[in-house]
Amino acid sequence: MEKPNFYDFNLSSLSDFLVEGGHKKFRAQQLFRWVYGLRVTDPESMTNLSKEFRKDIPLLFDFILPKKTSELVSEDTTRKYLFDMGGGLSVETVLIPSKGRYTLCVSSEVGCNLACKFCFTGKQKLLKRLSVSEIVGQYLQVRDSLPEDIRISNIVFMGMGEPLDNCQAVFPAIDIFHDSWGINLSRKKITVSTSGLVDRIPKIINSGTRLAVSLNGSNDQVRSGIMPINKKWNIEKLMGACQEHYRQSKDRITFEYVLLSGVTDSLEHAKELHRITRSVPSKINIIPFNEHPQSDYKRPSESQIDRFQKEMMRLGSHVLRRKTMGRDIYAACGQLNSLAKDHPGKMSVL
């Protein structure tokens, strides 16, 4: 009979599973500490467990992580990993260095059905929603491959896929990332980014993580033109959900706004963007478009980017320009796509 994968359990489902099998509940915490805290999966090395329980472990679980099949390093030291998710499918994960900190951008799906027009992932139809182990596995495999002095301090769900389209795996994975017996990251160091699945935004409040909204359009006409999800949940509904999120969480939201030349980058757009976001305590990240082979959109000129940012600042918005990282290896925002044949540059097969 096929055994469950240990990495698919959060602490509470592991406790239930063990108790149902006649084991003590506290074994779940002990196992979490060994596996996530100490990265030990050999039962014989788990010295504080009884001999009988140690013998049972290989009968209870498999310990399977997705395989890292390649790794690219950018000129700016951003790293992009390709993970094999079985059945010929794969996802990309990006490790971004910034001022001595490391942020891991994880994927939640192979491809994405939301089909945002500017996004390389959106060109790949949804082929698979990842499991808990496939999400947590991206973190563990990267962490295990890094030198000891490099610590991943933040996790962002901004890789391939819409995280709120895969809640059944994303939220248990967040439990493992946060659990003090597990990976032990503060909830505020974890950010979930959504394109605007309004009815699922309350789940982010419950998880205690940070919310980022991929906004990208300053009015419904523009936003519906580049993000089909806006036809279902327009800007008014999205902002209503954001206001409610802030009311309950008291946590400032990040709005991401991609600057597409001639589409979203005029001073009129800046004024509209200020108007629609000012009702929510927020920060706006402007992201100059990162071009990729399957898009006709263009990145605005530096002077236009500068004008846009200055106009937002003049109006009183808290606006930052997102530093572009990893563009030479197609690891920058909106550039992920696991069809390796579309990738430029050197794919270093491990």
Among 49, 82, 114, 140, binds ligand SF4 (CB under 6 A): 114
Minimum Å distance from CB 9 to ligand SF4?
27
> How far apart are CB 227 and ligand SF4 at their closest, in Å?
7
Stretch that binds ligand SF4, among 79-87, 98-106, 118-126, 203-211 (CB under 6 A): 118-126
Distance, C-alpha 321 to centroid of its chain: 19
Query: Which of 71, 92, 134, 162 touches ligand SF4 (CB under 6 A)?
Result: 162
Binding mask 177-216 for ligand SF4 (x = CB under 6 A): ------------------x------------------x--
**Do residues 279 and 312 make contact, with C-beta atoms less than 8 angstroms apart?**
no
**The amino acid at 227:** M
Q: Is 236 a catalytic residue?
A: no
Please identify which residue in the block is written with the tokens 């001999």.
51
Stretch that binds ligand SF4, among 115-123, 145-153, 301-309, 339-347 (CB under 6 A): 115-123
- Residue selected from 94, 116, 284, 325 as contacting ligand SF4 according to rule CB under 6 A: 116
> Which DSSP string do the residues of 90-148 spell out, in sequence order?
EEEEEEEEETTEEEEE---EES-SS--TT-SGGGSPP-EEPPHHHHHHHHHHHHHHS-T
* Stretch of 155-163, 179-187, 202-210, 282-290 lying at the interface with ligand SF4 (CB under 6 A): 155-163
* DSSP 8-state symbol, 330: T
Is 333 one of the catalytic residues? yes
Query: What type of residue sits at position 94?
Result: V
Contacts with ligand SF4 by CB under 6 A: the residue count is 12
Residue with Cβ nearer ligand SF4 (258 or 276): 258
Alpha-carbon dihedral angle through residues 253, 110, 139, 169, given to the nearest 10 degrees = 70
Contact string (CB under 6 A) for ligand SF4, positions 25-64, x = contact:
----------------------------------------
Among the listed residues 112, 116, 242, 333, the single catalytic one is: 333
- Residue 67: left (phi > 0), alpha (psi -120 to 50), or beta? beta
Q: Which is nearer to ligand SF4, 119 or 192 (CB)?
A: 119
Binding of residue 295 to ligand SF4 (CB under 6 A): no
Find the helix or strand (DSSP H, E) in which 3 lies. Answer: none
Q: Give me 207's structure tokens.
A: 């998880």
Q: Which residue has the tokens 């980017």?
A: 305
> Which residue is catalytic, options 44, 52, 92, 242?
92
Helices (H), the chain: 11-20, 26-32, 51-60, 132-145, 167-178, 201-207, 220-226, 235-249, 267-277, 302-315
> Which residues belong to the active site?
92, 333
Where along the sequence are the contacts to ligand SF4 (CB under 6 A)?
112, 114-116, 119, 121-122, 160-162, 195, 214
